[in-house]
Amino acid sequence: MMQFLKPGMFTTVQDLGRKGLSHLGFGPGGVMDKSSAIKANLALGNDENAALLEITLFGPRIKFTEDRRIALGGGKAKVFVDGEPKTEIVFEVKQGEVLDIPILENGCRGYLAIEGGIDVPEVFGAKSTLSHAAIGGFEGRALVKGDVLKAAKIEEGERTTVELKPLKLASNPQLKCRQGPEFDWFSNEDKVKFLTGTYTVSQNTNRMGMRLEGLQVFTEGEGSMFSSALIPGVVQIPHDGNPILILRDGPTAGGYPRIVVVDESELDVLAQLRPGDKLGFEYLD
Amino acid sequence: MSFSFQPYGQRACILQWKDRNPMDILEELNHFSDTIRDAKIPDLEELIPAYDSLSLIFKEKLPDQKELQAKLRKLYKSSQKVKKEYSLVQIPVCYLGEHAPDIHSLSKMRGLSIEEIIKLHSQTVYRVSMTGFYPGFIYLQGLNRKLVTRRKISPKLSVQSGAIGIGGAQTGMYSLATPGGWNIIGRCPVKLLSPKGESLLPIAPGDYVWFKPVSEEKFIELSASDEVGNYEWKKRPFQE
């Protein structure tokens, strides 16, 4: 078992998310940086979909009541065990020891995988926390001080593990994108402005979406539309011209014009950006 | 009449009926969605019907576009119109005070008094076009033309749960406290979404709803009765 002495800024139980419920408003959700989470699980021989902890910028302090191997993926974490600094990213925490992850030194999200995975019930086909709907994960919410999580039983038998390497972070990433359904509602001038401009990640960024600051773009005419499907990675342009990038916990429908959609792999890159970081777009069509 | 087909990012496509009135194609879209679902297209993960569009999201990437399009057009032709049963659901709404943060600005923009807004909004039977956005959000069609109001310049970071809003020619209800860009003119005291109950939502696309105005006192009363699980939705079979 793991006792949370300190929860961290926004620590949630996640897996690879849900499927087939978008038409009800339950988007895919799940870990924000899929590849980092999968690698952390595989380093322990876990199933790639095993439930693990997603840490945001400031991590938790956890007392272990049993020996467990752990793996740390995603942004580089500062780690202490019983107050002693630790440099490995895959190691065993012994019974009674306190694992402390005060801060991520780079990136925005870290993954703490536990051998066997975290034992939480499946809700609508997944273990991931959807905090705005208060479902999944541990009691449908981010962890708080005093919470106790159970680690799942470790299955007997031979397991293969994959070496975990520190995450390489892209600075000023250029996100591969394709045109969104309302791309042609924008003038050529504004399309160029958007696709060649540099944007800054706003403070108003979370698992649902990322607001971007930089050049404003506007649709021609009134631009009022009926609401229609949103998918993670789509960029909406509200009437104030400031882009909003929809992320994994984001809405499944919306009515602001959709200028572009970034490629699937870019969602992992986005997951590691902090407010203040810069990004741009690379148009593929 | 048929739909336009457009890829939507790396792994999705969107079918749009831009020349049709969403009021006229709702049942057609409903049946087409069922047909697509039954066809079990490989790697199709999500199917999201909306007012005048239908989006299909695939597992990793969009299959061959020509083939997919041909298949969908064939399914569309074969999609049978089956008579479905729909319900009329009454939704209590308080259009007053803190429950209606944008009703004054809407009143100014539309040149209508608060009483007129309440009357126009509550004396209509709406049809549920779609659900989604966030869990439990219901999108309605049938908004009186006098109430059509543009979405906010920029969405608010949080809208209260149960909020009733107007976004363009649409009206609808936020079941959860989430970000939102619609103009909020009232609030329902009862939770629509019950992830722990047998059915997620008492309302589905195609159903009808009407809003019953309630006082601030009644709001508190209904909210308290919902809190202890005593509220029962007023729902009956309905046909236009």
For B72-102, give the DSSP string: HHHHHHH-------EEEEEEEEB-SGGG-TT
% chain B with pLDDT above 70: 97
Of B8, B154, B179, the CB nearest to A208: B179
Min Cα separation B36/chain A (Å):
13
pLDDT at residue B103, as a whole number:
97
CB spacing of A244 vs B11 below 8 angstroms: no
What band does A224 get if pLDDT is binned at 50, 70 and 90? low
**Residue keyed to tokens 């943060």:** B101
- Grade residue A221 by pLDDT with cuts at 50, 70 and 90: low
Do the chains contact at A178 and B200, CB–CB below 8 Å?
no
From chain B, pick out residues whose CB is under 8 angstroms from the CB of A235.
none
CB contacts, 8 Å: B137 with chain A = 25, 253
Give the confidence band of B1 by pLDDT, cuts at 50, 70, 90. Answer: low
pLDDT at B59: 93
CA closest to B22 among chain A residues: A226
pLDDT-wise least confident of A92-101, A152-161, B205-214, B230-239: A152-161
pLDDT at A159 over 60: yes
> Sorting pLDDT into bands at 50, 70 and 90, what band is B199?
low
B-interface mutation test, from A22, A184, A226, A284, most B Cβ less than 10 A away: A226
pLDDT, position A6: 98
User: Please, which residues bridge with residue B234 across strands?
Assistant: B90
Looking at residue A226, its pLDDT comes to 86
**Cβ-nearest to B195 among A22, A135, A262:** A135
Amino acid at site B82: V
Q: What residues in B contact A128, CB-CB < 8 Å?
A: none
Beta-carbon separation of B133 and A254 below 8 A: yes
First to last CA, chain B: 24
pLDDT band at B33 (very low <50, low <70, confident <90, very high): very high
Whether residue A14 has pLDDT greater than 90: yes
A20-41 per-position pLDDT tens digit: 999 989 999 999 999 999 999 9
| Tens digit of each residue's pLDDT (9 = 90 or more) over A240-253 | 999 999 999 999 99
- Which residues on adjacent β-strands are paired with residue A151? A118
> How much is the average pLDDT of B164-179?
93
Q: Which of chain B's residues have a Cβ under 8 Å away from the Cβ of A227?
A: 50-51, 130, 133, 139, 167, 170
Contact B135 A261 (CB under 8 A): no
Residues B86-138: pLDDT tens digits? 999 999 999 999 999 999 999 999 999 999 999 999 999 999 999 989 888 99
Distance to chain B for A20, nearest Cα, Å: 5
Residue of A nearest to B200 (CA): A24
Cβ distance of A25 and B10 shorter than 8 Å? no
The CA distances from residue A61 to A50, A102, B113, in Å, are 21, 7, 56
pLDDT of A168? 93
How high is the pLDDT of residue B84? Answer: 81
Is A133's Cβ below 8 Å from some Cβ in B? yes
Whether A82 shows a pLDDT value over 90: the answer reads yes
What was the pLDDT predicted at A26? 92
Q: Which residues of chain A lie closer than 8 angstroms to B36, CB-CB?
A: none
Output the average pLDDT for chain A: 95
φ, ψ for residue B58 (rounded to 5)? -100, 165
Range B12-27 average pLDDT: 90
ipTM: 0.92
| B-chain residue closest to A228, CA distance | B50
Give the 3-state secondary structure of residue B122.
Answer: helix
Residue-level pLDDT at A67: 96
The pLDDT score that the predictor gives to residue A266 is: 97
**Confidence bin at B206 (pLDDT 50/70/90):** very high
Over residues A122-132, mean pLDDT: 93
Q: Which residue has the higher pLDDT, B84 or B174?
A: B174
- Judged against a pLDDT cut of 70, whether residue B24 lies above it is answered with yes
pLDDT at B195: 58
* Residue-level pLDDT at A225: 82
What DSSP designation does B40 have?
Answer: T
| Contact with chain B for residue A129, Cβ under 8 A | no
At B202 the pLDDT is 85
Alpha-carbon span B62 to B58, nearest angstrom = 6
* A221 vs A57 pLDDT, higher one: A57
Report the pLDDT value the prediction gives residue A272, as an integer from 0 to 100: 98
Distance from CA of B27 to the nearest CA of A (A): 16
Closest chain A CA to residue B14: A181
In the predicted model, what is the mean pLDDT of residues A243-269? 96
State the Cα–Cα distance between residues A221 and B149, nearest whole angstrom.
15
Q: Which of A55, A86, A49 is nearest to A73 (CA)?
A: A55
Mean pLDDT score, B40-50: 95
Residue A161, CA distances (Å) to A36, A68, A166 in order: 15, 15, 16
Task: Give me the residues paired with residue A61 across strands.
Answer: A6, A100
Q: Please indicate whether, in this complex, the C-beta atoms of B132 and A204 are within 8 angstroms of each other.
A: no
What was the pLDDT predicted at A222? 54
Please report the pLDDT score of residue B198 as a whole number.
Answer: 55
Quote the pTM value. Answer: 0.91
**CB atoms inside a 10 Å sphere around CB A268:** 19
Local confidence band at A54 (pLDDT 50, 70, 90 cut-offs):
very high
